[in-house]
Every structure is written in C-alpha cells, then in structure tokens.
Amino acid sequence: MAFVVSRVDLEANRYRSAVWLAAADGSTPPYQLTGGEHGDGSPIWSPDGRRIAFTSSRGDGGKSTLQVIPVGVPGETVTLCERPEGIEEPRWSPDGSRIAFASRERAERYSEGDDERARPPRRIDRLFSRLDGVGWTIDRPRGIFVVPADGSAQARLVVGGPYENGAPVWSPDGRTLAFTAARAKDWDIADNSQDIHVIDVDEPDAEPRTLTARTRSHFQPTFSADGRKIATLADSEQIIPTHAQVSLLDVESGEQTLLTAALDRQCAPSSCRELIWDGDHLVFALEDHGNTHVHRVATDLSGDVELLIGGTRAVNGFDVAGGTIAFVASTPSALPELFVLRDGGERQLTSLGSAFHGTVASRVPEHFTVPSPAGDGDVDGWLILPEGADERVPVLLSIHGGPMTQYQNSWFDEFQLWTAAGYAVVYCNPHGSTGHTDAWARSIRPPEAADFPGTGWGGIDADDVLAVLDAALERQPRLDPDRVGVLGGSYGGYLTSWLIGHTNRFAAACSERAVNNMESEEWSSDAAGFFRHELGVNHVDRPDVYRRISPVTYVKDIETPVLILHSEDDLRCHIEQADALFVALRVLGKPVEYWRFPEEGHELSRSGSPRHRMQRAEIILDWFGRHLGGKRPTITWSHPSREG
C-alpha cells in the first residue's frame, strides 16, 4: 500500500510530507519511499503495479510537479510536468500510458508578470468567483489535462474554462474521460449543481457530452469494469442540506438510481474519496453518530448493505484491491494509523504516533446521549475530564463548524490540549449536524423556508447544545458551573456569538472565524449566493430573516467577555464578519479582545502555518486561563495580555 505521512517542520514554519509503502501482509516494516521535503502526496499505482505517480512541490520556485517513481524494479524518478498551479487528482489510463489530472489554467492577464498592480482588472460575471485557500478562480479555471506517463511530451489541456472541471476518471477502454463540472447556462444563479460529462480524449476539438440533467449535484464518479455504468455520489444543491447518496448512472440512457437512500445518512464525509467497485458492489464511507464507517452496497438494486469497517472510530481514507481493504483510522485517543482487513482479520501496520503518545497522555471521552428539547431524538454528547485531583474544574463547551458536519470519534488535538490545561471539555452533535437523518440536518432551516421549514439557525441547535451542557454538569460533580466557557469556529463561532447574545451563563467566550452577520455573509463569502439554498429564502426578498438570525443583531445583550479570532485572508467567512462584532462591542464598551492572523484563511486551526497555529492555541488558553482559572501557557512571543 502507498500512503502519505505528514509532519511539521516548526523551524521552517511549514509542513512536509512523503509517500510511504507498506506490505499488505505485514511481512516487512513500512518504509519511506520519497524524500518528503517538498510536499509529496496523492500517490496512485499504475495498472501493472510497477510504478507510482505522485504530486510534489519540488519544481523550480516550489512549482507543482507530477512525478512517476518505479517500485520494485530498476529506474529513476521521472518528472512528467511542472505547473505554476497545483496538480490534483492524478489518474492512470487503463493501459498505463497516460495520466489525467486536474490543474488551474491561468488567464492571459497573468502574462503581465508577478506585479498585480500592472495586470488588467478582473472581469466578474458569475457567482463563486473565488475560493478560500485558493484565491481568485474566475481567471484561473480548473481544467483537465493528460500527459504521457513516460514524460515524452508536454501535458495537454483536454477540457478547460471558464468552468470548474474536476474528478477525471478514465473509461475502461481508455478512449474517454468522465469528469464533473457545472456547465449549464446560468448555473451559478440556478443551483450550482455539478453534472457528469464525458469527452473523447483523442478527438481534436472534442466537446463534452453531458450525462446527467441537474436533478442532483454529482461528484467523485467512477466507471464500472464494462464501462456501462458510472457510480457517483450525489446530493441536492437546490435544498440544502441533503445527504449525499451512492448513485448508479446508466451511461447510455442517463437513468439514475440511488442505492443508499434508505440508510438516511451522509455518504460523503468530508474526507470522502471516489466510490470503489468491488465486483457487483460499491464500497463507500458513511457518517453515523460520531463514527465514520465503511460499507458495501449491492448494485443489483436489492438494497443490501454490508458493514465492512465499524467500531468507535473514524475512517478517513480507504482502498480495496485483491481482497484486501486498506484504511486509515483514528480514535478519540489515538492519532491516525494504517490498517488492513484481510481474510476477515484486521491488522494495524503502522505505529507512527506511538512516540508522541508515549510522551503525551491522551484522555478518553465519555459518550452519553441527551433527549433533544425538540422531542425528536437523542443528541450525542461527549465529556472529557482532565487528569488530576477531585476538586472542581473549569469547563469548555466546544461547538463544531458546518453546521453540516459532525464531531467524529477521532483524535482532536485541541480537546487533548485543553484537558491538559485543566479543563473539562463538553461537545455534541446538535440538530443541523450530519451523522443523523436528513430531517435532523434540515431542522435548522428557517420557518420561512418554503421547503422543509425548521427553527432557523440559533433555534433547536442552540437548545441542544445547552441541554448537553446541563446534562454534563448534572452527571459529573467535578464540573464547576460557575466557570464555563464556550467556543467554536465558523458555524461554531456563529453559535458561540449567538449564545452569548441570548444568555449570560458563560464566564468567557471565544468566537473564531465566525458568521456574525448572515446578510453580509451572503454577499462577502466565497460561497456568496449559496445561503439562499441553505436557508430557503434569499436576502434580497427577505433581509429580515437574515437579520433576525444574525448574532450581531443582539450585540447589545452581550455581557460575556469575548475573544474574537479571525484570519485576514478568510474568504469563507470574510474578515468583515469579525470586524462587525468587534466594532459593535467596542462602541458599546463591552469586554472584547480581537486577534487577526495575517496571510491565513478559513482553515487556520487545521492547516495554517505551524507558528500561527501554536500562537492561536496559546491565545485561547491564555484567554480562558485569565477568565476561568485554567492553566495559562508560557508565551515567548510578544503578547500584550501578559504585560502587567
């Protein structure tokens, strides 16, 4: 098996990653295949198993490259192509002669050099013109390229802009590529649904042929062995949220069949990959009450579904070949490791986190359920207690982002960091989360929505979070009800800002990368125009709905000391969202502290620069240490709150 191991180089303030190999039978120890100094990733085996293609940033000036390295046979690493934009989703042709990949294609304005002030202005003629972590996409559309696998010719653009094309996959005969893109007229105004298209790779000036009809949005397609079917994940962009389901598409007729609708679960976790054909079955991942499991569904329309990998854990990468299932999994107290399932037996192949866990103790959460105040089911909640004496401890109530995601039964560094600082941590998956039914996720659509009306953001979701907190305080006498803090990022930041505008029960709060003004979020976000589908009404016709569910509307009622954290290059929740809350609180003389991180986007806490991530963690611990009495960190960089 080929897999990727990442590490932090704190001195260089960057991440490094390498491709590793492991024998499926465990007969030899795993070993590092590539150098790992240049961000090696996305390994994929050639059809004959003798070569691996992978992406790397080892080009001149850190440019993205596509490399091929021999495995088990003589030869050297070959650079197939080098591009100024990232190379993504490499896929071998069935005969191993070519590789398709996705990459951004720069418009003519970039030929003016690196001085943006000398370039012509951008012409914006559609929504979704930029993307957090990527930047402007309107003049850098994503295209599909093909390059010979022996490096004998330059990469050739097969299908390009102005559309965002991705997820290329070869037909079994190697003549066509299927890919996903929203290419319909006024797709951005309608619903941003992605269709599946096919194109003849070798026909000059070929035009894509569309296979689907925008009834659903499709992603991660893959052909059946005979080329007559395409399996894909599909959801609705018209009514959000809608769980993605495994769909089977007849290439000739365009007829589609959903295979997993009866499961009523999200079949496209955030770390999802394309579906895997396993004979007449399809292998896929599914979110269920905090777990991410791997299942197999029959394609004969019988509806038969089999659990392949279960347990209290989250699987965030998997593959199937030759009767072996390889997967990467994590638990709440252990970093991800590589496993195999062979002949009915499971085996762990790596122990890359053992040195860390041997030095840093992990705390195991206690799972419990609480009846939702809505009366339609139980909320999954968790409690992690710090190590130590029996005296009462401060509490941090953590709220996840999304809202269409879930807290997983997987390693989360922040929870372990907070418990090490003496806090008990309470968290849950309230209404609006995945891991439950479609109805559960849709329940926070506003009551004004024409389809599937609910309570709106800040309704039953807020009630659930407080109910779980109350239940934790009641079940564990060590928790100090007078020293409770609340924090969250993105939607979790939204609900944090919302709660402190509706209750004074928290001693301190941290609102991070939050949505504070829903109305301006609809025009300032990289997802501008998206929220009308999520809320069921648009901000032009019903600005009152957007303002009613905006935390900044209730800023006069906030008495809780607030720490605001935001990244200056955040395109998902623009920095103006933090400014809106800070300026209002400051004008009103409310207790507030505001930290802005330069050169960072929405993913600061997960993939920001290592130094910024450390500084962010120290700011949070210092803030709650001052207000709740937890252990404060030793800070070596300039930190005004430490003065005096």
Helix 491-500, helix 460-475: angle, nearest 10: 80
182 part of a folded domain? yes
Tokens representing 436 are 């439950």
Give the domain-ending residue among 214, 233, 255. 214
**634: containing domain:** 366-642
Asked whether residue 501 is domain-assigned, the answer is yes
User: How far is CA 223 from each of CA 61, 177, 179, rounded to the nearest angstrom?
Assistant: 37, 10, 11
At residue 642, the pLDDT reads 54
> Does some domain include residue 222?
no
Joined together, the tokens standing for residue 54 give 């992978």
Mark out the alpha helices in 199-342 (DSSP H runs).
Answer: none
383 CB neighbour count, 10 Å cutoff? 22
| Structural domain contains residue 289 | no
Give the single-character DSSP code of 421: T
pLDDT tens per residue across span 208-235: 999 998 788 999 999 999 999 999 999 9
How many angstroms separate the CA atoms of 230 and 250, rounded? 7
- Is 389 contained in some domain? yes
Q: Looking at 214, 236, 252, which one is the last position of a domain?
A: 214
Using the 3D structure, point to which of 160, 188, 214 is the last residue of a domain. 214
* Residues lower than pLDDT 70 in the chain: 641-644
CB 461 within 8 A of CB 432: yes
Spatial contact of 599 and 391, defined as CB atoms under 8 Å apart: no
**Cα distances (angstroms) measured from residue 244 to each of 233, 236, 469:** 6, 8, 30
Q: What is the value of pTM for the model shown?
A: 0.96
Distance, CA of 207 to CA of 366 (rounded, Å): 56
- Give the pairing of strands 256-258 and 324-331: unpaired
- Our count of domains for the chain comes to 2
Orientation of helix 610-628 relative to helix 413-420, angle to 10° = 40
CA-to-CA dists, residue 243 to 22, 279, 326, 333, 445, angstroms: 34, 25, 25, 28, 15
Kindly state the DSSP code that residue 94 receives in the 8-state scheme. T
- Cβ atoms 245, 260 nearer than 8 A: yes
**Which helix (H) or strand (E) covers residue 341, if one does?**
strand 334-342
CATH of residue 142: 2.120.10.30
Cβ atoms of residues 158 and 142 within 8 Å:
no
Residue 286 belongs to some domain of the structure? no
What does the pLDDT read at residue 59? 75
Tokens of 250: 């007849």
Q: Is residue 494 part of a domain?
A: yes
Going by DSSP bridges, is the β-strand pair 324-331/334-342 parallel, antiparallel, or unpaired? antiparallel
CATH of the domain at 403: 3.40.50.1820
What pLDDT sits at residue 71? 96
pLDDT tens, position by position, 582-633: 999 999 999 999 999 999 999 999 999 999 999 999 999 999 999 999 999 9
The beta strand positions in 507-605, using DSSP E, are: 508-512, 562-567, 592-597
CA–chain centroid gap for 372, Å, is 27
φ, ψ for residue 70, nearest 5 deg: -75, 150
Predicted confidence at residue 214, as pLDDT, reads 77
3-state SS of 196-227 is EEEEECCCCCCCCEECCCCCCEEEEEEECCCC
For residues 439-469, one letter each, b for 16 or more C-beta atoms within 10 angstroms of the residue's C-beta and e for the rest, the string is ebbbbbbbeebeebebbbbbbbbbbbbbbbb
Of 362, 279, 258, 270, which is closest to residue 316 (Cα–Cα)? 270
pLDDT of residue 644: 39
